[in-house]
Structure 1
Amino acid sequence: MSGTDGLRIGSLCSGYGGLDLGVQDVLGGSVVWHCEIDANAAAILAHHWPGVPNLGDLSAVDFDQVEPVDVVTAGFPCQDVSLAGRRAGLTEGTRSGLWLHVTRAIQSLRPRLVVIENVRGLLSATAHSHVESCSWCVGDASAEPPLRALGAVLGDLASLGYDAEWACVRASEIGAAHRRERVFIAARPIADANGDIRAGRDRSQGKARAA
């Protein structure tokens, strides 16, 4: 599953690696590490990406010590934002709250591209962040915070210096027999908005050599 252009991909909340395969199909490149704690998913990753290290528990990784990459993918947990789940929201201490550790990784690694996937519930589930840290911060007059999970994700990316675009895509749009809507977010450093993602490999390889 290696690409030919030298682009390096780091995978967070990897699952079985589906998001990584999609990114490789579009950009080429190769996955240089995964980050997945589920034993069954990790076994699938080890089978399809033999020799690629699995960093394990996302919340315990020191990303300042991780091999730099050009692209970070993250299909972070959906249980607390899914319409079929608890709807606890994007909150620290929940499974979906692992997003906070995704932002920590982005802050340390500074990839040239971030690709995120989650369920459609990201558009409606509530969130708690510095944007909505009090009941009056964004004109809220009700007991329920107005900030939604997608807004928190986009706001966090912006605070890290990333410009993002997002779209909601149905599985049926690409030939599946079911709806299964998913939100995809692509984010790039604001300073690199007009650059070529493939040029990023020179920058991160230089960082690796300097380490």
Structure 2
Amino acid sequence: MPAKPRIGSLCSGYGGLDLGVQTVLGGSVVWHCQFDPQDPQQHAARILDHHWPHIPNHGDITAVHWENVEPVDVLTAGFPCQDVSTAGPRLGLAPGTRSGIWAHVAHAISVLTPRLVVIENVRGLLSAPAARSMGSDRRSVAPHPGAQPLRGLGAVLGDLATLGFDAEWTVYRAADVGAPHRRERVFIIAWPQA
């Protein structure tokens, strides 16, 4: 890893994951990708612009041509949790859902091939269904009849492996870092296979 890694951010939200990665690894955020069609005021994008005024925001992850985006050493992604959260509809990582944006994150990873990927999501990713999984030919893989359903975390880890990345994951509670509540989060780090 370079002494000052370049960081790209997908599904950036207000930039909290980016700030954490910057604190640990140093370096600088060189671009964001934040767009929320359900928020006409684009509140998160406005916060990013306030804190990183000269950093481009590539907007809608589904419309970006990653071949034209500045390469980065580290890629962060806090893809939408609404459909994997236990407080949400539990639709999982299905195409057409907000959490299904994961497929676009995986595509960005495949094109950008960063040296490190840092992903954050809610604990519900461990148990939410994944209606899709990326096969080696990039088509959906359907489990055989009677098989246990694929879970969100399994799909994410499987997709990363298909893309040539090794990964580790863990769950941290907000209380683990001093906050007065649990608010559990799944963190995944991935790097290219040797």
1:160, CA displacement in angstroms? 0.3
After TM superposition, the score normalised by the length of structure 1 is 0.83
Q: Are residues 1:141 and 2:146 paired?
A: yes
2:30 to 21, 32, 50: 32
Q: Does 1:76 align with 2:79?
A: yes
Higher normalized helix content (fraction of residues): 1
Bigger Rg, structure 1 or 2: 1
Secondary structure of the equivalent of 1:23?
A: helix
Residue 20 (structure 1) aligned with residue 18 (structure 2): yes
Name 2:39's counterpart in structure 1.
none
Partner amino acid for 1:43? R
CA contact (8 A) 2:143 2:149 kept: no
Aligned counterparts, 1:59-208, within 5 A: 59-130=62-133, 133-136=141-144, 140-141=145-146, 146-191=149-194
SS at 1:184's partner residue? strand
Q: Provide the C-alpha distance between the structure 2 equivalents of 1:44 and 1:74, rounded to a whole number of angstroms.
A: 17
Shift of 1:78: 0.2
Once residues 116 and 56 of structure 1 are traced to their aligned partners in structure 2, the CA distance between those partners, rounded to angstroms, is: 18
Indicate yes or no: 2:43 matched with 1:45: no
Q: For 1:149 and 1:185, locate their aligned partners in 2 and report how far apart those are by CA, in whole Å.
A: 12
Call closer, same or farther: CA 1:106–1:134 in 2, change over 3 Å.
closer
**What 5-or-longer segments of structure 2 have no aligned partner?**
37-41
What amino acid is the match of 1:147?
A: L
Q: TM-score under structure 2 normalisation?
A: 0.91
CA distance, structure 2, for counterparts of residue 14 and residue 75 of structure 1: 6
Amino acid across the alignment from 1:141: G
Aligned identity (percent) is: 67
TM superposition shift of 1:128: 2.0
Specify the code of the residue in structure 1 equivalent to 2:21. V
Deviations 1:21-76 (A, max 9, x none): 00000000000000001310011001101100000000000000000000000000
Superposition RMSD in Å: 1.5
Pairs aligned (count): 183
2:3 maps to 1:9 = no
Show structure 1 runs of 5+ residues with no match.
192-211
Per-residue deviation, 1:135: 4.5
C-alpha distance after superposition, 1:163-202 (max 9, x if no partner): 00000000011111110000000000012xxxxxxxxxxx
Give the aligned residue type for 1:134: A
SS in structure 2 opposite 1:186? strand
| 3-state secondary structure, aligned to 1:118 | strand
